[in-house]
Structure 1
């Protein structure tokens, strides 16, 4: 495994074999999530709570700061807001 991949995986996989990953990519498939108006603020709270990584869609990932936390980008999505919700794009 190359050094870049090792470095990125270290942000997600902890030495104690315990990892907390929080999915925050629901907005694409479900539309805006009630109560979440500032994604950066929510992510900051998660990181203070000890989360190791977050799952974000690429649009949100470009707009937030994660410091040294792990980032997992969800690159495809299904939207329940479309007439044909079974097609993943």
Structure 2
């Protein structure tokens, strides 16, 4: 495989794996920060609906970043920060 193929493969992995991780953590952190007093069932529904938009945004980010390395780095930093915020608030 050529360098271009590995670049696309790496971006696909970043989009799928990083996007899934971000879609799992960022909505939880946002809901915990903004709607902390909401009923648990409402908070879960809000987070689930937000996760679709977050996942689509992560996929777009993975393919619009300047390089595969910056795609991985950007998604990794966001996942780490959102995980820390969700952990701290819950």
TM-score w.r.t. the length of structure 1 is 0.28
Q: Which has the higher helix share?
A: 2
Q: Which has the higher strand share?
A: 1
TM-score w.r.t. the length of structure 2 is 0.27
